[in-house]
């Protein structure tokens, strides 16, 4: 789960000020619409740290489904398109 990796990286770095956009989600919307800040707040409120991260996977998945579904990139022709902002990305 890519979001989990991004959160792990964030929690492991005390100087980190943002969580990277998880793979398969629109980096444009992620940065612009404060998903990043909201997720960080939610993680703090939920008391998630590196020690309990594995127990919180279900919570993280539910959060992602609830909040990030709209900025998931969907395949369209040869590219991936964001349903929210319509930007397209090359498939890597």
Interface positions with Zn ion (CB under 5 A): 26, 28-29, 82, 84-85
CB 7, min distance to Zn ion, A: 20
Residue whose entry in the numeric block shows the structure tokens 């997720």: 39
DSSP 8-class letter at 26:
-
Angstrom distances, CA of residue 42 to CA of 64, 83, 85: 11, 24, 24
CB 26, min distance to Zn ion, A: 3
Q: Which is nearer to Zn ion, 58 or 92 (CB)?
A: 92
Q: Which is nearer to Zn ion, 34 or 49 (CB)?
A: 34
> Helix 57-68 crosses helix 35-45 at what angle (to 10 degrees)?
150
Q: Which is nearer to Zn ion, 55 or 90 (CB)?
A: 90
CB 53, min distance to Zn ion, A: 27
Residue whose entry in the numeric block shows the structure tokens 């969580």: 19
């Amino acid at each position: 789960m890519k979001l989990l990796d991004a959160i792990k990286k964030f929690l492991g770095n005390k100087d980190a000020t943002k969580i990277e956009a998880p793979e398969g989600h629109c980096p444009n919307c992620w940065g612009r619409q404060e998903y990043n800040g909201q997720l960080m707040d939610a993680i703090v409120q939920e008391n998630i740290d590196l020690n309990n991260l594995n127990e919180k996977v279900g919570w993280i998945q539910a959060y992602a489904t609830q909040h990030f579904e709209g900025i998931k990139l969907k395949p369209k022709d040869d590219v991936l398109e964001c349903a929210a902002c319509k930007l397209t990305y090359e498939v890597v």
